């Protein structure tokens, strides 16, 4: 991995290197993108399984009652 990073940053100014590293860090650790990805996967699963809104509401109610 370090070798790949070195090749990507080769010939860049310090400012360009820092910008690339910060952008890579943010992309990997940005909670909003993680949450968006999670919602996308949940949405795809719901559509694939053909759940109805009432199924989801029932599951939420059952979960809240059990707590």
Other Cβ atoms less than 10 A from the Cβ of 9: the count is 15
Q: Dump pLDDT digits (tens) for 3-62.
A: 777 776 778 888 888 898 898 888 888 888 889 999 999 999 999 999 999 999 999 999
Decide if 33 contacts 27 (C-beta within 8 A): yes
Q: What is the number of domains present in the chain?
A: 1
Can you give the pTM of this predicted structure? Answer: 0.47
What pLDDT does residue 3 have?
A: 77
**Structural domain for 14, as ranges:** 2-66
Other Cβ atoms less than 10 A from the Cβ of 5: the count is 13
- The number of residues in the chain equals 67
């Amino acid at each position: 991995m370090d070798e790949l990073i070195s090749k990507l940053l080769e010939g860049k100014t310090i400012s360009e290197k820092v910008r690339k590293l910060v952008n890579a860090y943010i992309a990997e650790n940005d909670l909003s993108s993680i949450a968006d990805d999670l919602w996308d996967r949940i949405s795809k699963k719901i559509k694939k399984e053909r759940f109805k809104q009432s199924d989801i509401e029932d599951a939420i109610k059952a979960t809240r009652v059990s707590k």
